Structure 1
């Protein structure tokens, strides 16, 4: 599936572009306006970077917390640190501290990487919508995207970007 996203400065421009695409004969079920009074980013399916970061951190915690626990025990065994005075308690405390370190790693690295890299271009588009701008999104084949591009260029968009989602093609 191919996408073409145009960022327009106001509602009148977005409605005019939508009408021009309609007159050109594009299937209107494949054209969407995003912005105030129309579909939201969540309704359209733009990725929320905070949700993606949370998913990434949770996924990383599944292996980092047990790994940290085992590494904490191994560290205590190799160094012979006496914390509590009881060998079992020392190893258990080392494992718990290692698990805490693993949880912190999944939170900071997984969450930070999810925000930085998990959103792609969705975050700038969300920011533009929050600024009161409008997005016109055209979905379809290469031919429909090629026919929509010159129509949308007439409206002097702030940004005009094409995307291909290879995951949806069979």
Structure 2
């Protein structure tokens, strides 16, 4: 077992910084919307605020579950079949679909069910949305049937790079993303 002194503190700091940045935003959003909802007289507007609070909390909870699964796998564990779920093409939760639709056009065109660790799938979709917005203007996210064997589903993010600057080449993009997210 690794002792306290043997821990790789730079890696732990990186993970802490990343998770803090990713968790603080949805939690602050939820708190802000709760404060707004307390002062709204219109029941429909209050309901809309509460739906956004729920969405923010779902994003935060999903992040924790997905990272717990990643750490579990990276430390030698595995995700067993009983921890995976079948998701039908119309089976993404409303909070996730609404979140993605607020940020880009979302096309769910696949006909095949997905057998996945759901929190990891949701985190991948959220991360692709964030990455697409970071490197340019996110135009579209799509889930489509992939051709070939085995049957599978393509997940694609289409973005328009800025006219100049960061996205001049893949190497430059990766370098700039590393610099902006130490």
TM-score (norm 1): 0.28
- Decide which structure has the larger Cα Rg and report it: 1
Relative contact order, higher structure (CA 8 A, sep 6+): 1
Output the TM-score relative to the length of structure 2.
0.27
